Chains A and B, each alone.
Chain A
């Protein structure tokens, strides 16, 4: 573990770890914020742009994330748009992940019996109140596990940014491996850092599910 005593290597890894944390956080928050309004919008059968959103969702789930990142990385400069590698990778990752969150939330909404909406309207609740009080909490309770495991997928997916010139954790590990030839130690260490982030997300999921159990003790 000699390589870890070199302050330059520690600085490189710390910076890279923070970059991975930042990209993952922005992608997780961004894709969840975009997915909810899209999922709610699709609940209306005659929603405008319904076909466009469904086509987007299909495309984003059928194309590999790496291909989407390459479109932004190699394609945008051809159109005269020059983005830094980090924002370009973040946009690509959000584009890919939002589609999955959208589908999880959609099936969360579709699992709720129609009678609940009808009943709530009959009680005089406005559409906004029906979503806020009745539908959204249940959709999240149903899709929670899928949304949390997708969050872990996004952390793992951030490693693909290393292939489009972003200096995040995986890129730093290959730099260090090339310099020191200590592949096993370095990649185990970096793997443990990814495991740590995943463990934090699993911990948050546990807290979330415990708070649900507290709100609905009979479930």
Chain B
């Protein structure tokens, strides 16, 4: 049994690296655009950016990631826009991620009193310095917990990319089960890999929760 596991270990290891790399790209996209959208909505004078952002966010938070993924993977092919399996995965999880991160950052932003904005403006700070020096440092601690919670969910949910043959952890696990007929062995290894990836994040979140109490 150990020999079978060892034979598949290199592939499982590179699958875990691919999962982490995909997660990193998706976190960057959803963090940057989610934050940008929340700041844009807050600083806009007209209510339309907020309505558009809320509409986008409600739609992508209520759709299963698998449906969004299939939409991009099969729908893209239908109109000749071939994103490929990895590209579809990044765009699908990126869109859903922006929808969630927008809510996280919007919540953190709303906890900052209006006086902070007025004060910074009265000091003559430019818009960039206002956000970079005054608002962002106060927002990030508030947004951290929600952001990490969603990040954990994303790493685990990335397992559905196996449905479009992205060779991440679950895809390689499925292949290994088909080849060796050892479901418990390989599912234990796969779940072990996820626990290894997710535990530091979970522990970090639970510790910061206790510290706050």
Q: Is A203 in contact with chain B by the CB < 8 A criterion?
A: no
Taking a contact as CB atoms closer than 8 A, the residue among B170, B177, B183 that contacts A66 in the complex is: B170
Q: How far is the CA of A174 from the CA of B163 in the complex (A)?
A: 11
- By secondary structure, the A interface counts as helix
Q: Is A65 in contact with chain B by the CB < 8 A criterion?
A: yes
Q: Is A163 in contact with chain B by the CB < 8 A criterion?
A: yes
Of B4-12, B28-36, B75-83, B108-116, the stretch lying at the interface with chain A is B75-83
Q: How far is the CA of A59 from the CA of B66 in the complex (A)?
A: 23
Contacts of B56 in A (CB 8 A): none
Interchain residue pairs with CB less than 8 A apart (25): A59-B195, A62-B199, A62-B202, A63-B194, A63-B195, A66-B162, A67-B170, A67-B191, A70-B170, A70-B177, A71-B184, A74-B183, A78-B181, A156-B62, A157-B64, A158-B64, A160-B64, A160-B66, A160-B160, A170-B67, A184-B75, A184-B79, A187-B70, A187-B74, A190-B67
Binary per-residue interface labels of chain B (46-84) against chain A in the complex, 1 for a CB within 8 Å, 0 otherwise: 000000000000010111111110110011011100000
Q: Size of chain A's interface in residues, with CB distance under 8 A?
A: 39
A178-203 at interface with B (beta carbon < 8 Å): 181-184, 187-188, 190-191, 194-195, 198-199
Chain B, residue nearest A68 (CB)? B191
Instruction: Give the shortest distance, in Å, between B64 (CB) and chain A (any CB).
Output: 4
- Decide if A78 touches B195 in the complex (CB within 8 Å): no
Q: Size of chain B's interface in residues, with CB distance under 8 A?
A: 38
Q: Is A162 in contact with chain B by the CB < 8 A criterion?
A: yes
Taking a contact as CB atoms closer than 8 A, the residue among B66, B71, B152, B159 that contacts A159 in the complex is: B66
Chain A, residue nearest B196 (CB)? A62
- Decide if B177 touches A177 in the complex (CB within 8 Å): no
Interface contacts beyond A170-B66, A191-B63, A194-B62: sample of 14 additional A-B pairs, CB < 8 Å, sorted by A: A61-B202, A62-B191, A63-B156, A63-B195, A64-B170, A67-B187, A67-B191, A70-B174, A75-B187, A78-B184, A160-B160, A177-B74, A182-B78, A199-B62
Q: How far is the CA of A63 from the CA of B192 in the complex (A)?
A: 8
- Decide if A173 touches B67 in the complex (CB within 8 Å): yes
- Decide if A67 touches B194 in the complex (CB within 8 Å): yes
- Where the two chains meet, the residues of A that have a C-beta atom closer than 8 Å to any C-beta of B are 58-59, 61-67, 70-71, 74-75, 78, 152, 155-160, 162-163, 170, 173-174, 177, 181-184, 187-188, 190-191, 194-195, 198-199
- Decide if B184 touches A173 in the complex (CB within 8 Å): no
Q: Is B121 in contact with chain A by the CB < 8 A criterion?
A: no
- Decide if A183 touches B75 in the complex (CB within 8 Å): yes
- Where the two chains meet, the residues of B that have a C-beta atom closer than 8 Å to any C-beta of A are 59, 61-68, 70-71, 74-75, 77-79, 152, 156-157, 159-160, 162-163, 170, 173-174, 177, 181, 183-184, 187, 190-191, 194-195, 198-199, 202
Chain B, residue nearest A163 (CB)? B163
Q: How far is the CA of A78 from the CA of B182 in the complex (A)?
A: 9
Taking a contact as CB atoms closer than 8 A, the residue among B59, B152, B187, B202 that contacts A71 in the complex is: B187
Q: How far is the CA of A152 from the CA of B62 in the complex (A)?
A: 7
